[in-house]
Amino acid sequence: MNACAGSPLGALVLVVGPSGVGKDTLISGARTALEADKRFVFVRRVVTRRADIELEDHDSMDHQQFAALEAAGRFALSWDAHGLRYGLPLSVDTDIALGRVVVANVSRHVIAEARAKYPACAVVMICAEISLRAERLTRRGRESRDQITARLARESAPVPAGIDPIIIDNSGSLAIGVTAFVMALRKIADE
């Protein structure tokens, strides 16, 4: 993949993984670690759900507002997941055109569309032990025990064929997970 170093265009990094693996936590840690490196942009997605400030990094919007912006072409990408609507702002296109590496938390369902639209696109898949995911989901407090059990039992959507994601196991300490993620992002930027 030609990201920033060999191409005038930047790259889109799609961060995926099942609920409870710590995607937002790793993204937040990487944002802090790479704050001085202007090659990186960490985009806030728009979600039709109220944000829990301590657990999630997104902008909230009701379904009607979201539909209006989507119809006006104000999202770079949009998708459905878990009965909600998600979108990445159009600023993604500007940042990529300016040669930046744009990092976004997305659903696996949007990978194929993103890869078609953004040729310089990498996928980072975050995983974690199931017992740790259950603990994190319980702490989050959005779902009942039965809902958490059902969520953990569901098979995650597969990554589309032909895509070789970078896999980061976030079962250890936060420092180890953030370090692995930052190293992966730097490698993508240098390719």
Element (H, E) at 67: helix 63-71
Look up tokens 């790793």; give the residue. Answer: 26
Q: Is 10 among the annotated ligand-binding positions?
A: no
Q: Is 24 among the annotated ligand-binding positions?
A: yes
**103: β partners:** 13, 42
Residue 71 CA to residue 53 CA, distance in Å, equals 28
Q: Is 178 among the annotated ligand-binding positions?
A: no
Residue 54 CA to residue 47 CA, distance in Å, equals 16
Of 151, 155, 158, 121, the closest CA to residue 15 belongs to 121
Q: Is 17 among the annotated ligand-binding positions?
A: yes
Residue 126 CA to residue 30 CA, distance in Å, equals 13
> How many other CB atoms are there within 10 angstroms of residue 35's CB atom?
10
Q: Is 99 among the annotated ligand-binding positions?
A: no
Q: Is 19 among the annotated ligand-binding positions?
A: yes
Binding region for ATP? 17-24
Binding annotation: 17-24
